[in-house]
Structures are given as structure tokens and as C-alpha cells.
Structure 1
């Protein structure tokens, strides 16, 4: 398993990370993702470690904290072998302070995550979203305190816009606080807007991408094609999951899948393996978060590494997945001194 530096930090992470959104299966949203319990999770982690994948990503909202609890039990006795990342910011209760990035909420959320995970430190802690109602200075001072206390080792964010992230980095530089080194962002062959603003920022500021949903919210599993009904076990059978999924036009999806099928025929690899391998060849990408309901899915996703698409195959996928850019990015593309990082 290849390892890469996480952004501008000295921490090396595997190019694949196992997401734990499938652990627990609590509620209508997460039950559609999976329902691995402790013994299932132990088996998935065993397989991952055998393959050299030693990073596991969670969040306090995954199955109302159950995913963190299951992960903690599954890694018991081997904490030093693994890298744990988790997230907080989204609502976890009914109270007015049960969400956000305030000192009050983050302090309580981080301490609870540590307890559920059964550890005294978190390798990578990420804000799950940007809290526009809490001063950035309050958030960053709080997180820096946790780093200095040894309870967090590296900091990251998730789902930030470019200005959210750049403002935060500027504030940390002003006060000498701990910088964000990772951005857990959505990026896939059918969701390439990460390239417009966040990728150039990541290159400039040395913020590594921790990619979530590389298969476009289960649309690039190889099971969704023209004239084919959705698989019965697809998360897209859940209207709640459809409502929060990244929007994708059907014809665009089919065009990309057609190109993936062509490359699959050339390489002998599966559609998901090709889709993940394509991402791993993009700038700023430190690691890709893969999901697995079972051992079969995990082993298939692990097959995305150890080989590379050719330049011609990458170009074919690039062309099939290209979309018009929003302003000002389409205008910037005309200026030779502002080239695309993936041109």
C-alpha cells in the first residue's frame, strides 16, 4: 500500500482509508449505508491492515456515535497500529449548543469522541462543516488547545468552500496556531468541481485532500447503467439518501459509465477500481475514503491500488466527465497564467 504525506504535515497516510459510515446502521440514513457490528468491523479492519491500509475515518454523527464506539472496540489492543480520524460540527442533540464549532460544543464533542473511541488521542480531527455563526478565532483557538494538550495530533476540515478554508489558514498564521493540513472533500469522476477552487488552494497552501464518496454516492459501482433498474441494496433506494446526494444528471452519469466500461475492458479492472484509481492520480489527493458493507466490497476496493491507468485512459475519462465550469472559473480558463492544475 502506497503512503503519502498528509498535506504539508510530516504524517504519512495510506492512499486508501476505510470509512466507518457503514458501522452501526442506526436510523434511516445510515441503515442504508450498512450495519456492521463489532465482529464484522474487526474482520474488515483485519483485512485492511493485512493490505497495508491502517487509517480509519469516522464522525460523531455516524449512527449517533455508534460508529465511533464500534471502531474503538474493533481496534482495542492495537491502537498504535492505526491512524484514526473523526469529525464533529453537525447536530448531535436537540439543545441549542448541540452543534457547531463553538468552544462549548467542540470541547464536549471531542471529549465524547475520545471516550467512544477508547483512546486518549485522535490522529486527525476534522470539522465536518463550516460554522458561519462562530468566530473563526474561537474555533481555531479551541482546536489549537487540544493539539497542545496532546488530545489531537493533526487538524483538518470537511466540506469547506475556498474562502472558508483560506480565512481559517490566514487566522492560524496570524496567531501562530496549528494549521489545517487536510480537507475531506467530495471528489469523483461525476463530481469534479473540487478542481475549480479547492484543488488550486490545496496545492498553494499544502492542504491534502481526504476524498469522500469517490464513487459518486454509489453511482459508480458498475451496477447503474442505461435501462437498468437500481440494485435492490443500493443506498439510492432510500429517498433520504437521494435527497442529500450530490446532484448528477442521468445522461452525464451514463456517459461517464460508458467510458469506464471501455477502460474496464482494456484493463481487466472493475468500474469502482478504475474510478478510485483515477482520483489517486490527481493533484493534492493524500488518501481516498472507501466504504465497505462486507468483505467482498472491501477486497474489491483494495484492488484499486498497486497499478495505474495510462495517460490515454486518464484522458478518456477526463473527456467523458468534463463539464462546463461556473463563473469565474470558466473565464479564468482562458488566461494562460492561471492554468488548471489538471490540464
Structure 2
């Protein structure tokens, strides 16, 4: 079964492996397969689920809601997000204005089939809306009982500080950040993690397998596997391109004996690695087939010794991206429409 960790400086416990449905539900796989995969996650002990209104233009939330029908709501932790354009992509169908936030939470709750979400997250930072407006709307949603806690995604350390201060003044809890983090992408380690520890904020990290590259199935100098994420624009092919350089793929192959020595598969090693960071509350994983989760969940509770951690660093070498300035590139300077 999957272990639990506290989310930020709160009393909320979440599974250290969270099921996310970014590129699967409502687009990559049909609803029957998606629902079966959610049920497999539940059977494996995962109770924490992450989605967003923008995924498949709201369809992913609908599918997740259907998949969780009949489950005891109190035994689940459901997360969703707001920021990116949804619906017909009108002038106010995006961003973190009060109008968009208040309308978006209502739509998300309806699609998810629940009265509240455990965590409502700002999917990116909105440079066009005063942060005071955003957090007043979040605070009102918490007081209305539509969300229990507030989180953000891919915010810089300065943005986290400002948001945390506003949340505290308004009497609500900002307890999480959702950044990209993996053996190959470590940009949060320099500033985000130290700041978050100081503020009582946890990381719920996405792409712990570097968009699937850390599975080892992409080989240097070889054609991309048919049907893989890298060949499917609906599955986030644009996001994986930066990892498909031969020097990166060669480094990943050097991880295979490290995983074998640790008694793990490459995906298990990748997920276990991010969970060694004590500021990481959970690793987000997705799946297009139920059987994929049987392997994934075995990373929960794994402790990697110092020799294994050193061997990983030696294997990936200088292909690791650690520049903390990369976080500043995550949020668009203008809203997308």
C-alpha cells in the first residue's frame, strides 16, 4: 500500500504517490480505460487525485468525477487547479481574476461531482491580476467551504513569499506548490525548496519520470517508440522534446544498473528519488493502463542509501538542469487566450 505524508504545515495527509490525469483522461484514453485506471489506483492504496479545469478543456475533471462516483468522499483527497484558458477562451476565461476563479471553482465542483475540493491551486502566476484580488477570492472560496486549502503551481520563491503572507493575513492556508521535479530537472532545489521549508509549504511534484524519459524506453540514436508520448501531440509531445537529446538518453541508460542494484525498475527508482527530498509530499504519476500502477506504487516507502544517490548523480552527470531561474519561465507574462 501507499504511505502518507503531511501536506505542508497542515494536518492534511495525502498519499505520497498522487494520481494525476493531465494527458490521459478526456483525450489520450477512452473513458472506460480511464475509469478502470482510477479504480486500480484506489485498489493500490492511492487516495489523492490531481486534475485541472484546463485538462482536455474540462473533460478530464468530468471523467475523474465519474470514476470516483460511489467512493466515500471523506476518504479521498481531490485537487484541481485554475488559471489556463477554458471553454470558448473568452477574455475572462483565463487567469486568476476574481471573476474567473469564482466561476471556475463552481464549474470544477460540478464536473467532479463534489461539494468541495481538498486543495484548490493557482495553476500558474497571473502577472495581469493583483495578487491581493486573487487571494481574496481564494479566501472567500475557503470560507464558503468549496475548498479546504490553497496551493499554487510553478511559482517563484518571491511569489511564494508574497502569496503566503497574503494568505496568512486573510486567515487561510497556502500549503503546497506543484513544480516539475526529477533526477533530470532539479531547478527547485536552489531557492524553491529552502523558501518552502521556511514557509511550511510542501511540493507536489509533476513529471518525476521526466515525461517518461526516465522509463528508459527512449534510446539514443533510435527512432521514437510508436504510440509513445513523444509521438502524440495530445499526450504532451511538446513537453518531452527537451529531454530527447542523445546525451540525456545515454545518461538515462547508465541508470539501469543503478536501479538493478537497488532492486528497482527504472520508473520506481525515478519516483523513489524525488520522494527522498523531505520537502516533497507527493509525486504525481499518470497511467493509461491499470497495470502500470502496480509497478509505480512500489516506489512508496523506498529509502535509497547514500551510495545509490551518489551513483544516480554520477550517471546523470552534467545533463541535469539545476538553474533556479528556469522557474521564472514557467508562468506566461501575459494571459493565454
Q: If the length of structure 2 is used for normalisation, what is the TM-score?
A: 0.89
Q: Does 2:213 correspond to 1:219?
A: yes
Greater relative CO (CA pairs within 8 A, separation 6+): 2
Deviation at 1:118, TM superposition (A): 0.7
CA distance in 2, matches of 1:251, 1:132: 36
CA distance in 1, matches of 2:243, 2:121: 27
1:13 counterpart residue number: 14
CA distance in 2, matches of 1:245, 1:131: 25
C-alpha contact 1:14 1:54 (8 A) present in aligned 2: yes
1:132 counterpart residue number: 127
CA distance in 1, matches of 2:175, 2:259: 34
Q: Show CA shifts across 1:267-288 (max 9, x none).
A: 3321111011111101300000
Q: Show CA shifts across 1:162-186 (max 9, x none).
A: 112111112223x233131000110
1:71 counterpart residue number: 64
C-alpha contact 1:259 1:316 (8 A) present in aligned 2: no
C-alpha contact 1:252 1:321 (8 A) present in aligned 2: no
Q: Show CA shifts across 1:94-113 (max 9, x none).
A: 21101000000000000000
Alignment coverage as a number of residue pairs: 320
Deviation at 1:36, TM superposition (A): 3.8
Moved more, 246-255 or 301-310: 246-255
> Relative to structure 1, is the Cα distance of residues 109 and 307 closer, same or farther in structure 2, using a 3 angstrom cutoff?
same
Q: Does 2:296 correspond to 1:295?
A: no
> Relative to structure 1, is the Cα distance of residues 139 and 221 closer, same or farther in structure 2, using a 3 angstrom cutoff?
same
Deviation at 1:296, TM superposition (A): 2.0
1:332 counterpart residue number: none
CA distance in 2, matches of 1:305, 1:259: 23
C-alpha contact 2:33 2:288 (8 A) present in aligned 1: no
- Counterparts of 1:178-257 in structure 2, within 5 Å, are 178-238=172-232, 241-245=236-240, 247-248=242-243, 250-257=245-252
Q: Show CA shifts across 1:191-250 (max 9, x none).
A: 111111111111111110001011111211220122332111211113573434473372
Q: Does 2:33 correspond to 1:40?
A: yes
C-alpha contact 1:203 1:283 (8 A) present in aligned 2: no
> Relative to structure 1, is the Cα distance of residues 243 and 40 closer, same or farther in structure 2, using a 3 angstrom cutoff?
closer
Unaligned runs of 5+ in 2: 327-337
Deviation at 1:324, TM superposition (A): 7.2
> Relative to structure 1, is the Cα distance of residues 80 and 35 closer, same or farther in structure 2, using a 3 angstrom cutoff?
same
2:47 counterpart residue number: 54
C-alpha contact 1:137 1:171 (8 A) present in aligned 2: yes
CA distance in 2, matches of 1:277, 1:160: 24
CA distance in 2, matches of 1:233, 1:307: 31
C-alpha contact 1:190 1:321 (8 A) present in aligned 2: yes
Q: Show CA shifts across 1:95-148 (max 9, x none).
A: 110100000000000000000001100011111111011000000010001111
Q: Secondary structure at the match of 1:91?
A: coil
CA distance in 2, matches of 1:138, 1:327: 27
Q: Does 2:106 correspond to 1:106?
A: no
CA distance in 2, matches of 1:46, 1:55: 12
- Counterparts of 1:312-331 in structure 2, within 5 Å, are 312-321=307-316, 323=320, 326=323
CA distance in 1, matches of 2:137, 2:45: 33
Deviation at 1:22, TM superposition (A): 4.1
CA distance in 2, matches of 1:145, 1:224: 46
**Cα RMSD (Å) of the superposition?**
2.1
